[in-house]
């Protein structure tokens, strides 16, 4: 067969690989690596919208350190991530175990419960904002009818309650993802193992704790780490539900960065707030890479 020079060049694996990876690398360099470098530069300068600014060292970060709203946002982010992750994992695992049994209509149930995850977050969050409305809240109506409350609960307007309300929506949205991913993991576990354990006299709890859980752990770890990164960097829920209020009580890193960087145009300070997420994210990513490698080499 006759072959042109290009085909012949592409016979070398290295050359072919280079051309196959080139488009990806160009896009990722232009829109991830370069913005990251720009972000670091911004965070170390004093740029505002329309003003290029000059190098100021770590002054932006020093300013953030003394900023009580930033401290509150940082604390919120860690608590929000931790609390919602625990709930999402527990409820998601429970739902996965329920779905792992045989019952009629299972495929329908499985298809429908994923809706919170697939429907655009902002749009479903708007429905939650409406359900949390101080004057028209359906939850208030329900609790009132059940004689649990006599006066209204201001779900998003009460600084002590708003973060809890936001966390509830996050859990609502995240549980299906956990459940379906963990279900996929559960389905790879050989039922013979359960049977063997049952014959050896293990009760339901022991079978879960000594058979299911250890075998499910690799999938669980990956799901949790993904979810932690997403939750830590969350923006949409807070933006739609409270916009960071009342009185800046519900800011996360991302929403505070948006408010300072885009809202008031202090680009450098906004970029510094975004970058403040980086060490924690890096830690999670490094841990994840280490864990995947460990599992693969087992």
Partner 1 sequence: MIEGARWKKWIWFYLPLGAFIVALLFPFYWMVVTTVRPDGELYRPWNHPLYSPFWTSHPTLDHVKNLVQETLFNTWMWNTMLIAAVATLISLFCGVIAGYALARLTFRWAGLLGTAIFVTYLVPQTLLFIPLAEIIRDYRIGDTPWALILTYPTFLIPFCTWLMMGYFKAIPKELEECARIDGAARWQAMVYIILPIAVPGILSAGIFAFTLSWNEFIYALVFLSSPEQKTVPVGVTSELIRGDVFFWGALMAGALIGSIPVAIVYSFFVEHYVAGMTGSVKG
The residue (of 163 and 280) whose beta carbon lies closer to partner 1 is 280
Q: Which stretch binds partner 1 (CB under 8 A): 3-11, 56-64, 66-74, 79-87?
A: 3-11
* 285: contact with partner 1 by CB under 8 A: yes
List 56, 69, 131, 215, residue binding partner 1 (CB under 8 A) = 131
- Residue 261 Cβ vs partner 1, minimum distance, rounded to whole Å: 4
The answer to the question of residue 53 lying near partner 1 (CB under 8 A) is no
Smallest gap from residue 149 Cβ to partner 1 (A): 10
Query: Of 193 and 284, which CB lies nearer to partner 1 in the complex structure?
Result: 284
Q: Which residues, numbered 245-264, are part of the site for partner 1 (CB under 8 A)?
A: 253-254, 257-258, 261-262
C-beta separation of 128 from 169 below 8 A:
yes
Contacts of 236-240 with CB under 8 Å at 24 or more apart are 236/121, 236/122, 236/125, 237/121, 237/125, 237/166, 237/169, 237/170, 237/173, 238/166, 240/122, 240/125, 240/126, 240/129
How far is CA 71 from each of CA 59, 187, 276, rounded to the nearest angstrom?
16, 43, 11
The size of the interface with partner 1 (CB under 8 A), counted in residues, is: 104
Could you say whether residue 289 binds partner 1 (CB under 8 A)? yes
**Segment lying near partner 1 (by CB under 8 A), choices 62-70, 135-143, 155-163, 208-216:** 135-143
Instruction: Tell me if 20 contacts partner 1 by CB under 8 A.
Output: yes
Residues in region 191-220 near partner 1 by CB under 8 A: 198, 219
Tell me: does residue 274 bind partner 1 (CB under 8 A): yes
Residue 72 binds partner 1, judged by CB under 8 A:
no
Q: What is residue 149's DSSP assignment?
A: -
Among 230, 264, 287, 294, binds partner 1 (CB under 8 A): 230
Closest listed residue to residue 276, CA positions, set 82, 85, 62: 62
Whole-Å CA distances, 221 to 51, 175, 176, 177, 270: 45, 15, 16, 14, 32
Q: Using the rule CB under 8 A, is 132 a contact of partner 1?
A: no
Torsion angle of C-alpha atoms 178, 119, 228, 76, degrees rounded to 10: -130
**Does the footprint of partner 1 cover residue 172 (CB under 8 A)?**
yes
Choose between 120 and 214: whose C-beta lies nearer to partner 1: 120
Residue 78 in the binding site for partner 1 (CB under 8 A): no
Are 227 and 86 in contact, with CB atoms under 8 Å apart? no
Q: H or E segment at 174?
A: helix 159-186
């Amino acid at each position: 067969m006759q072959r042109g020079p290009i085909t012949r060049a592409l016979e070398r694996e290295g050359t072919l690989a280079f051309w196959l990876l080139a488009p990806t690398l160009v896009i990722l360099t232009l829109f991830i690596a370069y913005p990251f470098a720009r972000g670091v530069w911004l965070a170390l300068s004093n740029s505002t919208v329309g003003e290029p600014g000059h190098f100021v060292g770590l002054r932006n970060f020093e300013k953030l350190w003394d900023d009580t709203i930033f401290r509150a946002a940082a604390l919120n982010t860690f608590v929000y991530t931790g609390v919602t992750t625990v709930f999402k994992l527990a409820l998601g695992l429970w739902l996965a175990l329920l779905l792992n049994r045989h019952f009629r209509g299972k495929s329908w149930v499985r298809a429908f419960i994923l809706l919170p995850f697939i429907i655009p977050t902002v749009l479903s969050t708007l429905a939650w904002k409406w359900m949390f409305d101080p004057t028209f809240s359906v939850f208030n109506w329900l609790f009132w009818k059940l004689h649990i409350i006599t006066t209204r609960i201001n779900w998003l307007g009460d600084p002590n309650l708003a973060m809890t309300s936001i966390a509830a929506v996050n859990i609502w949205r995240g549980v299906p993802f956990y459940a379906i991913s963990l279900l996929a993991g559960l389905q790879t576990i050989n039922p013979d193992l359960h049977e063997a354990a049952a014959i050896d006299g293990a009760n339901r709890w022991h079978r879960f704790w000594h058979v299911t859980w250890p075998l499910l752990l690799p999938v669980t770890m990956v799901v949790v780490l993904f979810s932690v990164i997403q939750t830590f960097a969350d923006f949409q829920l807070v933006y739609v539900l409270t916009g960071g209020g009342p009185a800046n009580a519900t800011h996360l890193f991302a929403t505070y960065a948006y408010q300072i960087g885009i809202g008031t145009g202090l680009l450098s300070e906004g970029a510094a707030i975004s970058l403040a997420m980086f060490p924690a994210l890096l830690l999670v990513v490094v841990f994840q890479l280490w864990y995947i490698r460990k599992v693969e080499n087992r």
